[in-house]
A and B are shown apart, each in its own frame.
Chain A
Amino acid sequence: MNTLTEAFLQSFQLMITLDETLVEVVLLSLSVTFKAVSLACLIGLPLGTALAVLKFPGQKTLVVLFNSFMGLPPVVVGLVVYLILSANGPLGPLGLLYTPTAMIIAQTILVTPIIVAHSRQIIVLLAEEYDETLRSMQASRMDIMGTLLWDSRFSLFTTVLAGLGRAFSEVGAVMIVGGNINHFTRIMTTAIALQTSRGDLALALGLGIILLVLTISINALAYGLKTTWEKHSYA
């Protein structure tokens, strides 16, 4: 039996029996990813909107920076977060290194630029259209940004999904700051890396298949939700 067939069989077996360790790893993966992406949205959406609407010195530089940061190497982000959270680092006393929180922080840093850059792009287009109307209504800047954000919500869906994809599949940063500790900071991607290094390629690939299935499910679910929501509120 070749590795690929074995991988499929293993993944089916793990999924059907709801293997306890697998469930634990999947739940942590989902939790870390969703929290990181939510944080990235909390930071990134207002920032992206501000960059689209406000004109201030250095605004163009910031846009270029955030566009570039979409390609931040995860390992480098992991190292920086490691040094900051390290026991004798600036935030060492918080005791966050090798915890899920550290993983959330690292992933938030990786995902935020994606949210900022994409949302700015989307909102700039809508801002052009709404500009005169909102200004003639004497809307404050907060009102303008709020209106643009809310009215782009369906276009921003894809942005959030892109962020989810990046976070969910990321391994380099979480490995360094999470430590891949069994039952504590082990998630899908670090488990795959571990099984690869153990030479258990079938299990590694099996986990990979499960990761893919999960990603597709999340996207399908999100798409379904979006369509329903859109139907009920019209864009």
Chain B
Amino acid sequence: MPKAKILDLNDFSEQRKQQASIICSSLFFQRGKKKILSNISITIPKTGISVIMGPNGAGKSVLLRTIIGLLKPDSGHVILNPEFAGKTALVFQRPVLIRRTVYGNLHHALGIAGVPRRQRKSRIEELIAIGGLAGLENHPARSLSGGEQQRLQMVRTLSSNPKLILLDEPSASLDPQSTHAIEEIIKSTSDKNVKLVLVTHDIGQAKRLADDVTFIHKGKILEQNSSPDYFNSPSTPEVKSYLEGDLLV
């Protein structure tokens, strides 16, 4: 994966530097004629769970992929706090599990993360426990239910001991029980001082998890605020109507 470009954080104020995990500066991204990100500048705090919200098609997934380096912006920079360099991971909305068993998927991920062969077995047992996947070790990963697959993806992501995890609508297509399980994993991961950036359009989920919220609409940032302020006193009409359940057209 192409590493996010690490700029000298001294370019920014002392305060920003200390608080930031990720700084995006004037990101533009266009697909054909459609502007997907236009002038996104944002500082994502270093701790807690940051939620990026917005209606479908707002550019959330593209922003996430740009941050982690899967997509290159047309212009602008993503600056990653050096503390997180090489310790990032991404959870996709639709998990792509490889054609192996549950055990095989984790073994493979640990291999890529450079965990020595001897240590993998005990590590896999831990991850299986976190994901609540006990008893499924030898099942083909792709024969699991949607919720199980997403849990497996979550713990697979943990196998590299990331310090920063970006999650792209991880429970968008899951039933409430599975969503709950995913959220539990998210919370317990956050408790271990892992920085999480969660993209969702589920207002309830944002309320349950967010420490701070950024609202994106049509490729632009409309609002960024701490969670209570965002939900209690939105400052733009768009966020207000979105929170009230209106369609933003």
Residues in B whose Cβ lies below 8 Å from that of A139: 1, 112
By the criterion CB–CB under 8 Å, are A135 and B112 in contact? no
- Which residue of chain A has its CB nearest to the CB of B153? A133
Chain-A contact segment, one of B30-38, B89-97, B199-207, B238-246 = B89-97
Inside 8 A of B68's CB, which chain A residues have their CB? 136
Shortest Cβ distance from B115 into chain A, in angstroms? 12
A31 within 8 A of B: no
Query: What 1/0 flags go to A128-163 for Cβ under 8 Å of B?
Result: 011011111111100100010001000000000000
Contacts of B113 in A (CB 8 A): 137
Residues of chain A touching chain B, judged by Cβ–Cβ distance below 8 Å, are 129-130, 132-140, 143, 147, 151, 233-235
In the complex with contacts A130-B96, A143-B111, A143-B112, A135-B101 CB distance below 8 A: no
Cβ-defined partner of A147 (8 Å) among B65, B88, B90, B98: B98
**Which residues of the other chain, A, contact B143 by a CB distance below 8 angstroms?**
234
Given A147-B108, A234-B140, CB of A138 within 8 Å of CB of B160: yes
A71 CA to B140 CA in the complex, in Å? Answer: 39
* A133, A140, A143, A235: residue with the most chain B Cβ atoms closer than 10 Å: A133
B96 touches A137 (CB 8 A): no
Q: Is A132 within 8 A of B112, CB to CB?
A: no
Instruction: Classify chain B's interface size.
Output: 20 to 34
**When the two chains form their complex, are residues A130 and B90 in contact, meaning their CB atoms are under 8 A apart?**
no
Q: A132-B92, A138-B88, A235-B99 are in contact. List 15 more A-B contacts (CB 8 A).
A: A129-B96, A130-B96, A130-B98, A132-B90, A136-B1, A136-B90, A137-B89, A137-B112, A138-B1, A138-B112, A143-B112, A147-B98, A147-B112, A233-B101, A234-B140
Inter-chain contact count A-B, CB under 8 Å?
A: 50
A86 to B226, CA, bound (A): 80
Shortest Cβ gap from B133 to chain A (Å): 16
Q: Mind listing 7 A-B residue pairs with CB under 8 Å? A: A136-B1, A136-B68, A136-B89, A138-B112, A138-B160, A143-B112, A235-B99
User: Which chain B residues in 65-99 approach chain A with CB under 8 Å?
Assistant: 65, 68, 70, 86, 88-90, 92, 96, 98-99
Residue of B89, B90, B143 contacting most chain A CB atoms (<10 Å): B90
The answer to whether B109 has its CB under 8 Å from any CB of chain A is yes
A130 neighbours in B (Cβ, 8 Å):
96, 98
Contacts of A151 in B (CB 8 A): 98-100
How far, in whole Å, are A111 and B96 apart by their CA atoms in the complex?
33
- Docked complex Cα distance between A234 and B88 (Å): 30
Interface residues of B in 134-174 (CB under 8 A from A): 140, 143, 160
| A230 → chain B closest CB, angstroms | 10
Complex Cα spacing A106 to B185, Å: 58
Assess the B140–A133 pair: CB atoms within 8 A.
Answer: no
Q: Which residues in chain B, 28-82, are within 8 Å of chain A measured between CB atoms?
A: 65, 68, 70
Residue of A nearest to B104 (CB): A233
A133: chain B residues at CB < 8 Å are: 92, 96, 98
Asked if B96 and A132 sit within 8 Å, CB to CB, the answer is yes
A233 / chain B contacts, CB cutoff of 8 Å: 100-101
Interface string of B6-24 (1 = CB under 8 A from A): 0000000000000000000
In the complex the two chains form, what is the Cα distance from A140 to B100 in whole Å? 20
Asked if A138 contacts B86 (CB within 8 A), the reply is: yes
| A135, A143, A234, A235: the one within 8 Å of B70 (CB) | A135
Determine the residue in chain B with the shortest Cβ distance to A148.
Answer: B98
Q: Are B101 and A234 in contact (CB under 8 A)?
A: yes
Q: Determine how close the nearest CB of chain A comes to the CB of B107; give it in whole angstroms.
A: 12
Give CA–CA (A134, B70) in the complex, Å: 11
CA A143 – CA B89 in complex, angstroms? 17
Measured CA separation A134–B99 after assembly (Å): 13
* Cβ–Cβ < 8 Å partners of A136 in chain B: 1, 68, 70, 89-90, 92
**Beta-carbon nearest neighbor of A153 in chain B:** B99
Alpha-carbon separation in the docked complex, A143 to B112 (Å): 7
Residue of B nearest to A140 (CB): B112
| CB-CB nearest 9 A-B residue pairs | A234-B140, A136-B90, A135-B1, A133-B96, A139-B112, A151-B99, A138-B1, A143-B112, A235-B99
A194: min CB distance to chain B, Å: 47
CA distance A19 to B88 in the complex (A): 66
| A contact residues around B70 at 8 Å (CB) | 132, 135-136
